[in-house]
Amino acid sequence: MNKGEHCDPKPAARLPLFTDCREVNGDVACPGDSGYSTIPVFGRTLRLRKDSPAIMLMGCLDELVNLTNGIRLSFSNEPKVASIAAVVMALSMQLNAYLVQGTQERLSKVKIVETLLETKISDLCSSYRGDVGWIVASTPEAQAIDGVRVKLRECGRIASSMLDKYPEADNIIKVLNHADKLVAQSLYCLGGKVYKTIDDVTGALLSSALDNNT
């Protein structure tokens, strides 16, 4: 090839298609390309837009699985943190399965994991005798778990938006709300700093920021 000439690049080796994708006229077509997905929700197969609350909740729970698995692996040398992350990860997976299946059998499995989370937090905080109030994570471990709390609340808000159309969402809301409260409680036992008022928090943060500038 002479200098300045161009040639078409060789086509990349075709990766294996997902089982539900197909090749059409040389292009790969997959379910969901139209912005809609056909999925089971509480045992009923529905065609939904990808920004519908049910799909948004599936995505939120999937993100929670990803978040907690990252914490579980990153803090493997901190068993208290890793175990909480592992249980919340399992709870998120079971909740997603219940969202798809909607069966009492699956809900009973959700409840088992929920009870295990309560036991874990109760054991962790059984000796805590400190103050309660506004709490701010003051260790990497507590901050990681606080991220789990925030994601649990987000998923709970999405689940609440499903109530009018899916009464079964009430079961998911209750579990997420309970898990949120349990994880928030664990912050007191993982290195959280407690303040009496929001003004105390603000004052401490601004004081720290000003001290770092001197």
Q: How many alpha carbons lie under 13 Å from residue 75 in its C-beta half-sphere?
A: 23
pLDDT at 56: 96
Answer yes or no: is pLDDT of 16 > 70.
no
Higher-confidence residue of 167 and 30: namely 167
pLDDT at 29: 72
Question: Which of 175, 158, 188 shows the shortest CA–CA distance to 118?
Answer: 175
* Geometric angle at alpha carbon 101, from 155 and 161, rounded to 5°: 30
Dist CA 141 CA 159 (whole Å): 28
pLDDT at 134: 87
The tokens describing 164, both together, are 């009018």
Question: Which of 82, 84, 89, 87 shows the shortest CA–CA distance to 64?
Answer: 89
pLDDT at 6: 59
Give Cβ neighbours of residue 151 (< 8 Å, ≥ 6 apart): 60, 63, 64, 67
pLDDT at 108: 98
Answer yes or no: is pLDDT of 205 > 80.
yes
Helix (H, G, I), strand (E, B) or coil at 70: helix
Give Cβ neighbours of residue 177 (< 8 Å, ≥ 6 apart): 156
pLDDT at 15: 58
Dist CA 194 CA 204 (whole Å): 11
The tokens describing 176, both together, are 């997420």
Query: What digits encode the pLDDT tens for the residues 74-92?
Result: 999 999 999 999 999 999 9
H or E element in which residue 13 lies? none
In the chain, where the domains are located: 36-121+135-197
The pTM (predicted TM-score) of the whole model is 0.84
Query: What digits encode the pLDDT tens for the residues 42-78?
Result: 999 999 998 899 999 999 999 999 999 999 999 999 9
Query: What digits encode the pLDDT tens for the residues 167-197?
Result: 999 999 999 999 999 999 999 988 888 888 9
Question: Which of 174, 117, 111, 107 shows the shortest CA–CA distance to 148?
Answer: 117
Dist CA 168 CA 24 (whole Å): 39
What is the CATH T-level fold of the domain 36-121+135-197, as seen in this structure? Hypothetical Protein Ta1238; Chain: A; (1.20.1200)
Could you tell me if 164 and 99 are in contact, meaning their C-beta atoms sit under 8 angstroms apart?
Answer: no
